[in-house]
């Protein structure tokens, strides 16, 4: 007997997002779908410019003109979410879903104490009294591992170190007691040891609070420690998706393999992109076939003829590739 | 001594330097303009009379001694006697200051009250109708010459509609037209600044965070962006107050016969009352220095990143 499929909390369904620019309409996200269930963690990985931030911000309702959702839906517990308002407010964003941004220094208001930036969520969300809210803010800072939280609530963002600032950002995101936390490259701006601490903190929080997690990164290696599932994004499309261990053990898409190799190279201290030469295509001049074909060592005429759809390559594992890596080829 | 007191002491010292510089310039200029003795005595005065007065004014002393003497009396708030009114200049200034304070206070308050909502609405809908209307109004407000604006207001509200007095001191209704005249151009400049600062702030990443937190619009605007727009806005308000005190009130008080310091300055010039003019310039310079010191302290209070 197969276990019942849990109803996903977040569903991103055939999402198309474009930016109207002077040079033309940039199709930044092209038919992305994924789902995240209760307590599940999904890693969204891809090179810079592949559309990860645009997806995250659209889920949060933060997509700003000139960006617009061309097609598709984002649903929370089955309910479609709205986009396109300049100051969107509903009972999902900032209630059930919250977000941690890459650059905490920019994302925090420089002129308000960190405590205020937490308590304003608490008073809005739970109608706490100022005093209770302050106590709760101290608890939240303690929860994310900030030492001397009682003193720190009064500090301003610039008085925190980079790592502590990102912890404070996480505390703010947790203040509304979300069910899903989106983390958009939360460690990219930090140095390696601090990165590891933040990853560890997120994993710990996820387990303790039963959070679902959408973790966005350009470094596949980071995902291994954190995510159940992986979705690999290339030029606005998901090119491979599957359980994390399968993706790591048997990547099917040559692009995923390249990402794995470059992540391994980073770990060895060889700081260059192994496996992937060249740059992503100009979104205004996409090739007719697979967008990765011009950089792919396996590409042939068929790859350039038509866009390959996502197709199953294993249990719960799919890749958008005409010539997926199989068997020994997939070993990195 | 803590950081803040050091800051205040340093600022006070800088202010003192500014006041001294202004004073020195005034001292030199008044002595270049003409011989006070020649102005103060009738044309047919004898050489002996001139010599007596020169000695009485200390003009027989070397220039640097004169300057030190001049400084000493200034800081004792002794500005000498008005040649025009034959009484201490300090009394004239005391008498005139309240009217100027009323005018500048009412005018600047009105400017801020107009500019904040207009600038905010414009910033929320950049390029759209509310923004266009605000920007057009601001442009008109800031490009109209003060004296012309004053005359137009007098023509419309005093001469034609006859609902407000055109000139003179006294009651609140007398204050309306001069204060509006002083306020409108300032409001135009301020509204444009509020608009552009808020547009910048609304695009800042921390606003995304605030939106993602589900905060209501009033809190995003009224707390998050306003604190960040406060420093440029207060700088501009300080600048407007300074310009009013040191310039615009002269025009407005003259047009409306408003008996403040600005009108006194014009009258002093007309009557060649150099000591009175000197005293007014000194007092205005002092006020400007105090305003700037106060602003610096407020900035530090708003933005803890400002190092001292
Ligand atoms: N404001 C914008 N105007 C025009 N194009 C944009 C804008 N923001 C994003 N894009 C397009 O969307 C693509 C994906 O951006 P982004 O989601 O930030 O990438 P990632 O987060 O994966 O690095 C970019 O390559 C760019 O072409
Ligand atoms: Mg990004």
Strand A311-314 with A24-36, pairing: unpaired
List of residues 6+ apart from A277 with CB closer than 8 A? A295
A212, A39 contact by CB (below 8 A): yes
Give me the pLDDT at residue A331, please.
Answer: 61
Distance in Å, CA A275 to ligand 1 centroid: 24
Element at A232 (helix H, strand E)? strand A229-234
DSSP 8-state class, residue A284: G
A57 touches chain B (CB under 8 A): yes
What residues contact A22, with CB distance under 8 A and at least 6 apart? none
Looking at residues B274-279, what average pLDDT do you find? 85
DSSP-assigned letters across all residues of A47-99: -TTSSHHHHHHHHTT---TTEEEEEEEEEETTEEPP---SS---SSBTTTEEE
What count of CB pairs under 8 Å joins A to B?
A: 78
How far apart (Å, rounded) are the C-alpha atoms in residues A160 and A307? 47
- Say which ligand is closest to the CA of A103: 2
Q: Is A207 in the pocket of ligand 1 (CB under 6 A)?
A: no
Q: What's the total number of domains in chain B?
A: 1
Which pLDDT belongs to residue B163?
85
Per-residue three-class SS string for B32-84: HHCCHHHHHCCCCCCHHHHHHHHHHCCCCCCHHHHHHHHHHHHHCCCCCECCC
Mean pLDDT to the nearest integer, B117-133 = 92
Q: What is the pLDDT of residue A4?
A: 60
pLDDT of residue B72: 85
Of the given ranges (A327-331, B59-63, B228-232), which has the lowest mean pLDDT? A327-331
Tell whether the torsion through CA atoms of A171, A176, A180 and A182 is positive or negative.
negative
Q: What is the pLDDT of residue A273?
A: 52
Joined tokens for residue B152:
């137009």
| Average pLDDT rounded to a whole number, residues A115-124 | 96
A238: three-class secondary structure by DSSP: strand
Angle CA B109–B112–B113, to nearest 5? 85
User: Is B160 part of any domain?
Assistant: yes
**Spatial separation of the C-alpha atoms in residues B104 and A93, rounded to whole Å:** 47
How far does CA B225 lie from the centroid of its chain? Answer: 28
For residue A46, is pLDDT > 90?
A: yes
DSSP single-letter state for residue A309: P
- Rounded to two decimals, the ipTM of the complex is 0.91
Q: Which numbered atom of ligand 1 lies nearest the CA of A185?
A: 21
Q: At what angle do helices B3-33 and B274-302 cross, to 10 degrees?
A: 160
Determine, yes or no, domain membership for B146. Answer: yes
**What percent of chain B clears pLDDT 90, i.e. is strictly above it?**
53
Between chains, do A107 and B209 touch, taking CB under 8 Å as contact? Answer: yes
Alpha carbon nearest to ligand 1 atom 11, residue: A28
> What's the rounded mean pLDDT across residues A281-290?
93
**Could you tell me if A308 and A314 are in contact, meaning their C-beta atoms sit under 8 angstroms apart?**
no
Does B238 map to a domain?
yes
> Quick one: three-class SS letters along B67-134?
HHHHHHHHHCCCCCECCCCCCEHHHHHHHHHHHHHHHHHHHHHHHHHHHHHHHHHHHHCCCCHHHHHH
Local structure of A245: helix, strand or coil: helix
Q: What is the pLDDT of residue B284?
A: 92
Mean pLDDT of the A164-174 span: 97
| Domain membership flag for residue B61 | no
Range of the domain at B223: 93-263
Rounded to whole angstroms, the Cα distance separating B180 from B191 reads 15
What pLDDT band is residue A330 in, cutting at 50, 70 and 90? low
pLDDT in tens, A296-319: 988 899 999 999 999 999 899 999
> pLDDT tens across A197-234, in order?
999 999 999 999 999 999 999 988 889 889 999 999 99
- Collapsing DSSP to helix, strand or coil, A132 comes out as helix
Exposed/middle/buried for A14, CB within 10 Å: 0-12, 13-18, 19+? exposed
Chain A nearest C-alpha distance from B204 (Å) = 8
Compute, in angstroms, the gap from residue B18 CA to the centroid of ligand 2.
Answer: 50
Q: Tell me whether residue B302 is in a domain.
A: no
Note whether residue B206 is domain-resident: yes
User: pLDDT band at residue B121, thresholds of 50, 70 and 90?
Assistant: very high
| Average pLDDT of span B65-86 | 83
Predicted pLDDT at B42: 76
List pLDDT tens digits, range B220-272.
999 999 999 999 999 999 999 999 999 999 999 999 999 999 999 999 988 88
In a domain, B283, yes or no: no
Tell me the chain B residues in contact with residue A189 when contact means C-beta distances shorter than 8 Å. none
Residue with tokens 């600062």, as numbered in its chain: B197
Mean pLDDT of B148-153: 92
Q: Confidence class of residue A5 from pLDDT cuts 50, 70 and 90?
A: low
End-to-end CA distance of chain A: 35
Name the closest residue on chain A to residue B217, using Cα atoms: A87
Q: How far is A244 from chain B (nearest CA, A)?
A: 29
| pLDDT given at position A116 | 97
- Do A42 and A34 form a contact (C-beta atoms < 8 A)? yes
Report residue B74's pLDDT band, with 50, 70 and 90 as the boundaries.
Answer: confident
Mean pLDDT for chain A overall: 92
Residues of B engaging A, defined by a Cβ cutoff of 8 Å: 204-206, 208-217, 219-220, 223-224, 227-228, 302-305
Reported as a pLDDT band with limits 50, 70 and 90, residue B219 is: very high
CB contact under 8 A, B213 and A95: no
Assess A212–B contact: CB distance below 8 Å, yes or no.
Answer: no
* Mean pLDDT across A162-174: 96
For helices B172-202 and B129-143, angle between their N-to-C axes, nearest 10 degrees: 130
Average pLDDT over residues B203-229: 95
What's the CA-to-centroid distance between B198 and ligand 2, angstroms?
A: 25
Backbone angles phi, psi at B162, to 5 degrees: 55, 40
Contact of B249 with B261, CB cutoff 8 Å = yes
To probe the interface with B, which of A63, A102, A106, A111 has the most B CB atoms within 10 Å?
Answer: A111
B208 vs A62: CB contact, 8 Å cut-off? yes
pLDDT for position A318: 96
Instruction: Establish whether residue A53 lines the binding site of ligand 1, counting it when its CB lies within 6 angstroms of any ligand atom.
Output: yes
The predicted pLDDT at position A28 comes to 97
Greatest mean pLDDT among A24-28, A266-270, A310-314 lies in A24-28
pLDDT interval class at B198 (50, 70, 90): very high
- Which element (helix H / strand E) includes B220? none
Chain A residues with beta carbon closer than 8 angstroms to that of B123: none
Pairing of strands A180-184, A212-217: parallel
Q: State the average pLDDT over residues B137-142.
A: 88
- Give me B308's structure tokens: 């001292």
* Residue A17: Cβ-neighbour burial (10 angstroms; 0-12, 13-18, 19+): buried
Task: Give the domain CATH number at B245.
Answer: 1.10.3720.10
Residue A329 in this model has a pLDDT that exceeds 90: no
Answer for the pair A332, A261: CB distance below 8 angstroms, yes or no: yes
The percentage of residues in chain A with a pLDDT greater than 70, rounded to a whole number, is 94
Q: Which residues contact B210 (CB under 8 A, 6 or more apart)?
A: A109, B219, B220, B224
With respect to residue B290, please indicate whether it lies within any of the assigned structural domains: no
Q: Write the residue with the smallest CA distance to atom 7 of ligand 1.
A: A19
Chain centroid, CA B144 distance in Å: 19
Residue B58 CA to residue B78 CA, distance in Å, equals 15
**Amino acid A332: pLDDT:** 54
Q: Residue A133 pLDDT more than 70? A: yes
CB pair distance less than 8 Å for A101 and B209:
yes
DSSP string, A182-214: EEESTTTTS-HHHHHHHHHHHHHHHHHHT-EEE
């Amino acid at each position: 007997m197969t276990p019942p499929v849990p109803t996903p909390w977040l569903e991103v369904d055939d999402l198309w997002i474009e930016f109207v620019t002077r040079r033309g309409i940039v199709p930044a996200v092209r038919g992305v779908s994924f789902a995240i269930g209760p307590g599940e963690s999904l890693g969204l990985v891809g090179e810079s410019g592949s559309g990860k931030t645009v997806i995250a911000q659209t889920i949060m309702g933060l997509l700003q003109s000139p960006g617009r959702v061309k097609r598709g839906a984002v649903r929370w517990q089955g309910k479609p979410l709205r986009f396109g308002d300049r100051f969107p407010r509903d009972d999902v964003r900032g209630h059930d879903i919250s977000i941690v941004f890459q650059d905490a220094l920019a994302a925090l208001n420089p002129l308000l104490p960190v405590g205020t930036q937490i308590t304003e969520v608490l008073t809005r969300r739970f109608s706490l009294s100022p005093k209770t809210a302050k106590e709760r803010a101290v608890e939240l800072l303690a929860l994310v591992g900030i030492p001397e939280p009682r003193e720190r609530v009064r500090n301003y963002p610039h008085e925190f170190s980079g790592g502590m600032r990102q912890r404070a950002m996480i505390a703010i995101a947790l203040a509304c007691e979300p069910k899903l936390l989106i983390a958009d490259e939360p460690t990219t701006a930090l140095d390696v040891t601090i990165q590891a601490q933040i990853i560890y903190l997120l994993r710990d929080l996820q387990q303790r609070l039963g959070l679902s997690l959408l973790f966005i990164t350009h470094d596949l290696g980071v995902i291994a420690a954190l995510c159940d599932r992986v979705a690999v994004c290339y030029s606005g499309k998901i090119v491979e998706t599957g359980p994390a261990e399968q993706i790591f053990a048997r990547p099917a898409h040559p692009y995923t393999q390249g990402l794995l190799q470059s992540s391994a190279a980073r770990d060895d201290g060889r700081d260059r992109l192994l496996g992937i030469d060249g740059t992503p295509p100009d979104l205004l001049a996409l090739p007719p076939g697979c967008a990765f074909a011009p950089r792919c060592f396996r590409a042939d005429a068929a790859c350039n003829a038509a866009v390959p759809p996502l197709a199953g390559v294993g249990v719960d594992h799919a890749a958008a590739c005409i010539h997926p890596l199989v068997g020994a080829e997939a070993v990195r | 001594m803590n950081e803040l007191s050091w800051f205040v002491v340093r600022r006070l010292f800088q202010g003192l330097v500014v006041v001294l510089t202004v004073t020195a310039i005034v001292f030199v200029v008044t002595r270049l303009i003409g011989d006070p003795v020649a102005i103060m005595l009738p044309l047919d005065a004898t050489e002996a009379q001139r010599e007596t007065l020169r000695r009485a004014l200390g003009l027989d002393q070397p220039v640097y001694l004169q300057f030190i003497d001049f400084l000493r009396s200034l800081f004792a708030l002794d500005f000498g006697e008005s040649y025009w009114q034959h009484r201490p200049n300090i009394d004239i200034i005391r008498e005139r200051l309240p009217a100027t304070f009323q005018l500048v206070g009412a005018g600047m308050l009105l400017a801020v009250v107009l500019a904040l909502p207009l600038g905010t609405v414009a910033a929320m809908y950049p390029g759209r109708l509310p923004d266009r209307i605000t920007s057009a109004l601001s442009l008109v407000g800031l490009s109209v010459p003060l004296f012309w604006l004053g005359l137009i207001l007098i023509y419309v509200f005093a001469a034609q509609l006859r609902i407000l007095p055109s000139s003179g001191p006294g009651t609140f209704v007398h204050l309306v037209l001069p204060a509006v005249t002083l306020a409108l151009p300032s409001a135009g400049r301020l509204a444009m600044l509020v608009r552009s600062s808020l547009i910048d702030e609304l695009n800042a990443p921390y606003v995304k965070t605030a939106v993602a937190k589900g905060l209501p619009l009033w809190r995003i605007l009224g707390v998050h962006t306003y604190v960040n727009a406060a420093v440029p806005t207060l700088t501009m308000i300080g600048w407007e107050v300074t310009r009013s005190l040191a310039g615009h009130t002269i025009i407005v008080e003259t047009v409306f016969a408003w008996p403040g310091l600005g009108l006194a300055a014009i009258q002093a010039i007309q009557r060649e009352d150099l000591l009175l003019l000197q005293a007014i310039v000194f007092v205005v310079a002092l006020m400007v220095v105090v305003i700037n010191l106060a602003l610096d302290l407020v900035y530090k209070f708003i933005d803890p990143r400002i190092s001292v």
